[in-house]
């Protein structure tokens, strides 16, 4: 899944994983778990998360890729939420996927206007360090600079499926399921 902060990656990722019986691998969840456990990795990523900055590629890859390969082998698939976020991550993931004899079937792009995204992130009420309005705006800037270029990369590979993420959750879910069911046929 590729989407700016607040577009619903976590919510929709959970719904997709449940519907299709595959695990959801969320980089943000994994990072927050590491921070909560105060692991060495958690201590490393904590400052990045608080500032709304991207965690360095090598740290992300070390945390995520083993889970991705295991999910591909044992579950026949997975939903990636929040990974990759940069072109180097996408290229490294593609190389590792080829080595593991797996590949992405679709890149789901959840799109919504910036004002909707900022309002959602700042209004989540989860008391996350990255949910203030100032950090939400910064996260959107970081996304635009580092993650949005992945759209071109995946579009060239013919993998992008764009969904309007501005409507209510259930409406977005139904649009996603309708589009994914067509691919599955």
What are the pLDDT digits (tens) for 152-183? 999 999 999 999 999 999 999 999 999 999 98
Catalytic residue, from 43, 73, 124, 157: name it. 124
85 is catalytic: yes
Question: pLDDT at position 8, please?
Answer: 92
Residue 32 falls in the annotated catalytic set: no
Residue 151 is part of which domain span? Answer: 9-184
Q: What is the CATH number of the domain that holds 51?
A: 3.40.50.300
Total number of domains constituting the chain: 1
67 carries an active-site annotation: no
Query: Which entry of 9, 50, 137, 182 is annotated as an active-site residue?
Result: 9
Of the candidates 128, 137, 156, 182, the residue annotated as catalytic is: 128
Residue 21: CA count within 13 A, CB half-sphere: 3
Helices (H), the chain: 9-20, 27-36, 40-51, 57-75, 87-99, 114-122, 133-142, 150-156, 169-184
* pLDDT value at 36 more than 70: yes
Q: Is the pLDDT of residue 54 over 90?
A: no
Mean pLDDT of the chain: 86
**Residue 88 covered by a domain:** yes
Catalytic position from the list 15, 24, 32, 85: 85
pLDDT one-digit tens code per residue, 79-102: 988 888 889 889 988 887 787 777
Residue in 99, 35, 24, 36 with CA at minimum distance from that of residue 64: 24
Q: Is residue 1 part of a domain?
A: no
pTM of the model: 0.80
């Amino acid at each position: 899944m590729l989407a700016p902060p607040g577009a619903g990656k976590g919510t929709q990722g959970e719904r997709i994983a449940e519907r299709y019986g595959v695990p959801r691998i969320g980089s943000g969840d994994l990072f927050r778990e590491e921070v909560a456990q105060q692991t060495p990795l958690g201590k490393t990523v904590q400052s990045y998360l608080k500032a709304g900055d991207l965690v360095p590629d090598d740290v992300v890859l070390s945390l995520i890729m083993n889970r991705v390969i295991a999910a591909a082998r044992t579950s026949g698939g997975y939903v990636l939420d929040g990974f990759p976020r940069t072109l180097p991550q996408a290229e490294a993931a593609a190389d590792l996927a080829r080595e593991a004899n797996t590949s992405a079937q679709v890149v789901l792009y959840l799109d919504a206007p910036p004002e909707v995204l900022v309002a959602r992130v700042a209004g989540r009420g989860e008391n996350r360090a990255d949910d203030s309005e100032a950090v939400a705006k910064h996260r959107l800037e970081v996304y635009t600079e580092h993650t949005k270029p992945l759209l071109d990369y995946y579009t060239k590979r013919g993998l992008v499926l764009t969904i309007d993420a501005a409507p209510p959750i259930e409406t977005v879910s139904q649009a996603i399921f309708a589009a994914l069911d067509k691919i599955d046929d």
